[in-house]
């Protein structure tokens, strides 16, 4: 399982060799954090405690909206701090997990460059300045990179952390089915006996607020089929992480190969793409879609993006969404398809 030569020290070891023992470490998770970034941060905190005697803060931007993710934080007693309350000067080192500097999905202020980055997304140009960089595209989850480190170093993994890592790998890879590599399966298998299955079940089967059903209704009502592509919009959102959740749900439709879900939150449009088509890269489609307007990216089958719309009038936002939809259909070769309601109007 080990990918690092036994004689050569890994990125994380080099980082902690250089770390002032007992110092302050800040770990930055991505905005509107998902289980992968949360569990990765929690694992790095444990590693930092042992290898660096570090005092660690985990910071995130945005909100944790999805009920499963909020429950994960609550039940596993993970301590996360909103990044706008962080005094960056207090920290000796900054690490980033499951995201990279200036990718648009984390709120580390631009002049600051993290000392350590651990991620499984394609390398961003701003990451060239990062001293300790550990990017592995052949891992289905960043949590697998961290779990593998913990197994390699023989570090104790408590029940809560094991549950968090297990849930991260499970949700990020859709139960080891989507963009999964041997290492993910291997980590999952090793974490399983260590995890608290009762808590895991409570996280997965979280109760959701009433507003969830309102957003779901909107998404279903607005969903249109263009051949094997589904496009939908959510008008209002309590938190943007419902966009990927709806996108995953839409891909469950028989015959669906592509999904684009869009929704507005505060002053930005959030986008999610899902696909079962492995010949086209969802991350690249997303990059093209938001080019010049916002930021985005992702993997082969899942991608996310964000376009700021702070200075735009409602009609301009509407036009932007229409334009994005046309561009998306063109990129995936469905521009000639005529939209059809997912649920016929008389059945709504």
CB closer to Mn ion, 23 vs 122: 122
- Least distance in angstroms from the C-beta of 300 to Mn ion: 13
CB closer to Mn ion, 145 vs 309: 145
Q: How many residues bind Mn ion (CB under 5 A)?
A: 3
CB closer to Mn ion, 142 vs 190: 142
Options 92-100, 181-189, 270-278, 311-319: segment touching Mn ion (CB under 5 A): 92-100
> Should residue 241 be labelled a site residue for Mn ion when binding is judged by CB under 5 A?
no
- Least distance in angstroms from the C-beta of 33 to Mn ion: 10
CB closer to Mn ion, 98 vs 134: 98
Neighbours of 3 (CB within 10 A): 12
- Least distance in angstroms from the C-beta of 49 to Mn ion: 23
> Should residue 98 be labelled a site residue for Mn ion when binding is judged by CB under 5 A?
yes
> Should residue 134 be labelled a site residue for Mn ion when binding is judged by CB under 5 A?
no
Q: Which residue is nearest to Mn ion (CB)?
A: 36
CB closer to Mn ion, 135 vs 239: 135
Q: Record the tokens describing residue 238, joined without a space.
A: 């309590």
> Should residue 36 be labelled a site residue for Mn ion when binding is judged by CB under 5 A?
yes
Residues within the interface to Mn ion (CB under 5 A): 36, 98, 142
């Amino acid at each position: 399982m080990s990918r690092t030569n036994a004689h050569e020290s890994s990125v994380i070891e080099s980082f902690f060799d250089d770390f002032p023992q007992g110092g302050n470490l800040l770990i930055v998770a991505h905005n509107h954090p998902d289980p992968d970034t949360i569990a990765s941060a929690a694992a790095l905190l444990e590693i930092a405690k042992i290898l660096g005697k570090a005092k660690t803060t985990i910071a995130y931007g945005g909100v944790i909206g999805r009920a499963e993710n909020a429950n994960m934080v609550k039940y596993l007693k993970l301590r996360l701090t909103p990044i706008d309350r962080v005094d960056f000067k207090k920290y000796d080192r900054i690490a980033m997990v499951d995201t990279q500097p200036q990718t648009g999905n984390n709120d580390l202020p631009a002049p600051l460059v993290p000392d350590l980055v651990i991620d499984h997304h394609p390398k961003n140009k701003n990451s060239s300045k990062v001293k300790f960089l550990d990017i592995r595209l052949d891992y289905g989850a960043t949590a697998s990179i961290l779990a593998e480190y913990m197994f390699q170093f023989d570090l104790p993994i408590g029940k809560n952390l094991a549950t968090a890592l297990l849930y991260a790998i499970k949700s990020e890879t859709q139960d080891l089915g989507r963009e999964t590599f041997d290492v993910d399966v291997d980590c999952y298998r090793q974490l399983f006996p260590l995890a608290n299955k009762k808590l895991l079940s409570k996280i997965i089967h979280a109760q959701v607020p009433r507003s969830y059903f309102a957003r779901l209704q909107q998404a279903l009502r607005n969903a249109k089929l263009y051949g094997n592509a589904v496009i939908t919009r959510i008008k209002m959102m309590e938190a943007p992480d419902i966009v990927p959740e709806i996108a995953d749900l839409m891909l469950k439709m028989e015959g669906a190969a592509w999904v684009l879900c869009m929704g507005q939150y505060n002053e930005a449009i959030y986008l999610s793409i899902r696909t079962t088509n492995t010949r086209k890269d969802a991350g690249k489609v997303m990059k093209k879609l938001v080019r010049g307007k916002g930021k985005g990216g992702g993997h082969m089958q899942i991608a996310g993006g964000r376009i700021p719309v702070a200075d735009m009038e409602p009609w301009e936002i509407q036009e932007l969404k229409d334009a994005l939809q046309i561009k998306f259909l063109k990129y995936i070769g469905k521009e000639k398809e005529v939209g059809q309601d997912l649920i016929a109007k008389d059945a709504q």
